Amino acid sequence: MIRTIFVPQNDSITLPIPKEYIGKALEIIAFPKDEIHEKEYIKKKITFNAISIDTREYKFDREEANIPTALV
């Protein structure tokens, strides 16, 4: 993987490609660094709320779970 940050001096750039990348499909994305809010993405935390179920008395019946739905 190549990741580089540079400040272009004109409307054209040249990017050297490693030999092992030749012949492969490459994705190249260009955007002004100040437009992406990487720090905001990193700071966001995702929380998952789940239901707590007491399964201590539950017995799993593999045969019952594998009954074809056409027979039920």
Smallest CA-to-CA distance from 4 within 30, 27, 37 is with: 30
Reply yes or no on whether the pLDDT at 33 is more than 90: no
Q: Which residue has the higher pLDDT, 50 or 23?
A: 23
Contact 52, 65 (CB under 8 A): no
Q: What is the pTM of this model?
A: 0.41
Domain assignment present for residue 67? The answer is yes
User: Domain containing 67: what range?
Assistant: 34-71
Domain assignment present for residue 18? The answer is no
Domain assignment present for residue 65? The answer is yes
Predicted pLDDT of residue 41: 58
pLDDT tens readout for residues 46-67? 777 878 888 888 888 888 888 8
Contact 5, 33 (CB under 8 A): yes
Domain assignment present for residue 38? The answer is yes
Predicted pLDDT of residue 19: 93
Structure tokens, 3: 């990741």
**Per the structure, how many domains does the chain have?**
1
